[in-house]
A and B are shown apart, each in its own frame.
Chain A
Amino acid sequence: MEVTPEDAKESLAQIKKTAERTRKMVAYGGGDVLFIVWGVIWILGSMGDEFFLEKCQWIWFGLLAVGVTVTGLVAKFKSPVSSPTDRRLGFFWLFMFLYVGLWLWLLFPFVKIRSMEEGIAFSKHFGGIMFTVPMFAYVVMGLWLDRFMVWLGLGVTGLVVIGLLLLEPYFWFWMAGAGGGTLIGTGLFIRKRWR
């Protein structure tokens, strides 16, 4: 059987396309569901901060518990690739949140809030920092796995900064729409384009 240069070009194009889809699949296995779930959590949490500030830590606690549980289930049952990297990524997220939690625990005793206005402003800045933590993780993961994650992490971090600097009175609405919306949009994009 003869293979012409045109056949060879077509074969190499098929190889390239399949390899690219595979690499994206490894980077985002089950990611469509996770981005959508975390986007919804982000929206609900932001609205909790806006309308139920005094109970917002419990709202976030419940939402994060749901998110972590769903993430664990998706990683176990929905990922199309069985990889030692999965476990390493899991530990990366765990250690990152433990590290952030440790510093919050060490620094919180020094936070003195004297009025409701200060409390509201503090909750926005604190929330903004917390939003950037998983985005920082995306950037780091993107350096290993896929450049799209780097742009997503930097983009959402930029939205947080814009919200804090320019739109502070509407910060939680902004984070619900721009932050949560971006995550949900990313999930839908992955579902449509990369499956």
Chain B
Amino acid sequence: MAELDRVIHEPVRLRIMACLDALNPKEQVDFVYLRDLLAVTDGNLGAHLQKLEEAGYISVKKRFVGRKPKTFISATTKGRAAFGEHVEALRGIIEGGEAGGVS
């Protein structure tokens, strides 16, 4: 049975993963867009991204666009799999009608 993921379950990180999972595997999202989408501060988003990166769920890359440095974020294969399992676990809780624990 699929299990809930503690790293992903936190609301902001859940939405970060939802955004990244909606992209194609080769697509990366701009840090500024992600910040605006989630309505969080730079520091808050940075802290959540660090947790997801430490878990190996996302990849963070910096590069220059024109003369400006930009940060792009994408989900890793491991991150997509973990997110998929988390979503399955949520569906399982709804279908089962019983509370589930976060591992």
Do B28 and A3 touch across chains, with their CB atoms under 8 A apart?
no
| Cross-chain contact of A81 among B11, B23, B94 (Cβ < 8 A) | B23
Residues of A within 8 A of B29 (CB): 22, 80-82
Q: Mark A42-56, 1 if CB is under 8 A from B, else 0.
A: 000000000000000
Do B100 and A12 touch across chains, with their CB atoms under 8 A apart?
no
A107 beta carbon closer than 8 Å to chain B:
no
Q: Tell me the nearest residue of chain B to A11, going by C-beta.
A: B90
Do B99 and A14 touch across chains, with their CB atoms under 8 A apart?
no
Which residues of chain A from 8 to 30 have any CB-CB distance to chain B below 8 Å in the complex? 8-9, 11-12, 14-16, 18-23, 25-26
Residues of A within 8 A of B96 (CB): 5
Do A82 and B30 touch across chains, with their CB atoms under 8 A apart?
yes
Nearest CB of chain A from residue B87's CB, rounded to whole Å: 7
Q: With A and B bound together, what is the CA distance between A15 and B21 in angstroms?
A: 10
Residues of A within 8 A of B11 (CB): 11, 14
Contacts A18-B22, A80-B33, A84-B26 given; does A3 touch B14 at CB 8 Å:
no
Nearest CB of chain A from residue B61's CB, rounded to whole Å: 9
Q: Tell me the nearest residue of chain B to A73, going by C-beta.
A: B66
Do A83 and B22 touch across chains, with their CB atoms under 8 A apart?
no
Do A14 and B14 touch across chains, with their CB atoms under 8 A apart?
yes
Q: With A and B bound together, what is the CA distance between A76 and B66 in angstroms?
A: 8
B97 beta carbon closer than 8 Å to chain A:
yes
Residues of B within 8 A of A25 (CB): 33, 37
Q: With A and B bound together, what is the CA distance between A12 and B93 in angstroms?
A: 11
Do B66 and A12 touch across chains, with their CB atoms under 8 A apart?
no
B32 beta carbon closer than 8 Å to chain A:
yes
Residues of B within 8 A of A22 (CB): 18-19, 22-23, 29, 37
Which residues of chain B from 58 to 103 have any CB-CB distance to chain A below 8 Å in the complex? 65-66, 72, 87, 90-91, 93-94, 96-102
Do A8 and B90 touch across chains, with their CB atoms under 8 A apart?
yes
Which residues of chain B from 1 to 52 have any CB-CB distance to chain A below 8 Å in the complex? 4, 6, 9, 11, 14-15, 18-19, 21-24, 26-30, 32-33, 36-37
Beyond the given pairs A4-B99, A11-B90, A80-B30, 13 more chain A to chain B contacts, judged by CB atoms under 8 angstroms and listed by A's residue number, are A1-B102, A2-B100, A3-B4, A7-B93, A11-B11, A11-B14, A15-B14, A16-B18, A22-B29, A25-B37, A77-B66, A82-B27, A83-B24
Binding site for A on B (CB under 8 A): 4, 6, 9, 11, 14-15, 18-19, 21-24, 26-30, 32-33, 36-37, 65-66, 72, 87, 90-91, 93-94, 96-102
Binding site for B on A (CB under 8 A): 1-5, 7-9, 11-12, 14-16, 18-23, 25-26, 76-77, 79-85, 195
